[in-house]
A and B are shown apart, each in its own frame.
With several copies, the nearest count.
Chain A
Amino acid sequence: MSRFAISEVAFDIAPLREQLLGHDAGAYASFEGWVRNQNEGRAVQGLFYESYRALAETEGQAIVNEALQRFAITRAACVHRTGELALGDLAVWVGVSAGHRGPAFEACRWIIDEVKSRVPIWKHERYAQGSSTWLHPDP
């Protein structure tokens, strides 16, 4: 299994988590991003994620590999959805296993932060008022 993947369809977390299990790991931290019904005060109806897939997978893989160097962790993985998502849908998942909980939490947080800042994926939000927009936040 690749340590970072883009998924164009809804994906199941259980088998991804399973790959991180191991008798050498005592701690597992995970993060999930779900589609929320509002963003910065605007009511959201749904959204669309687009990626530059080849580069997103290269960059995401680089992030997870870097996490494995920077933190005392055992395994790590991340999957990001693209395409149409409804409220409550899973947008991104990060899982990290480690000997101890400190590095598991720190690496999990670091990976999602890096993914959000570096991986070429863009969110297009549709609002209840009928408008929609691409989100291009200031870095």
Chain B
Amino acid sequence: MSVTVLYFASLRDAAGVDRERLPLPASLDALYAELSSRHGFSLPAAKLRVAVDGAFARWDSPLHDGCEIAFIPPVSGG
């Protein structure tokens, strides 16, 4: 059971890849905490939104095998 994590902007730069496949985590919080420590992300989770399968989601959303997760840093379009 695995998930795909997408990285954008400064998170992508820090991760060094734009996506990676990881074992299904217990929660989004736990996943981001682990990734932060592994990749050295400087943005705290409180500043991020999260998306699951292409739609904004709550941080306590359930995860399932094969889902696509994206952590959304503060946006700066326009």
| A residues in contact (CB < 8 Å) with B | 33, 49-52, 54-56, 58-59, 80, 91-92, 112, 115-124, 134-139
Q: Say yes or no: A119 contacts B56, CB within 8 Å.
A: no
Shortest Cβ distance from residue A126 to the other chain B in the assembled complex, whole angstroms: 14
Q: Report how many A-B pairs have Cβ atoms within 8 Å.
A: 78
Cα-based distance from A137 to B10 in the complex (angstroms): 12
- Of the residues A52, A112, A116, A136, contact of B47 by C-beta under 8 Å: A136
Closest residue on chain B to residue A133 by CB atoms: B10
> DSSP majority for the A interface?
mixed
Closest residue on chain B to residue A112 by CB atoms: B78
Residues of A within 8 A of B16 (CB): none
Tell me if B54 is interfacial: C-beta within 8 Å of chain A: yes
Q: Say yes or no: B9 contacts A124, CB within 8 Å.
A: yes
Q: Say yes or no: A136 contacts B74, CB within 8 Å.
A: yes
Tell me if B13 is interfacial: C-beta within 8 Å of chain A: yes
Q: Say yes or no: A135 contacts B72, CB within 8 Å.
A: no
Q: Say yes or no: A52 contacts B77, CB within 8 Å.
A: no
Q: Say yes or no: A134 contacts B13, CB within 8 Å.
A: yes
Q: Mark B42-70, 1 if CB is under 8 A from A, else 0.
A: 01000100010011100000000000001
Q: Say yes or no: A139 contacts B78, CB within 8 Å.
A: no
Cα-based distance from A92 to B13 in the complex (angstroms): 24
Tell me if B8 is interfacial: C-beta within 8 Å of chain A: yes
Residues of B within 8 A of A91 (CB): 77-78
Cα-based distance from A137 to B75 in the complex (angstroms): 7
23 pairs, CB–CB < 8 Å, chain A vs chain B: A33-B78, A51-B77, A55-B55, A55-B56, A59-B56, A80-B78, A91-B77, A92-B77, A92-B78, A112-B78, A115-B78, A120-B8, A120-B77, A121-B75, A121-B76, A121-B77, A121-B78, A122-B8, A122-B77, A123-B76, A134-B76, A135-B76, A138-B74
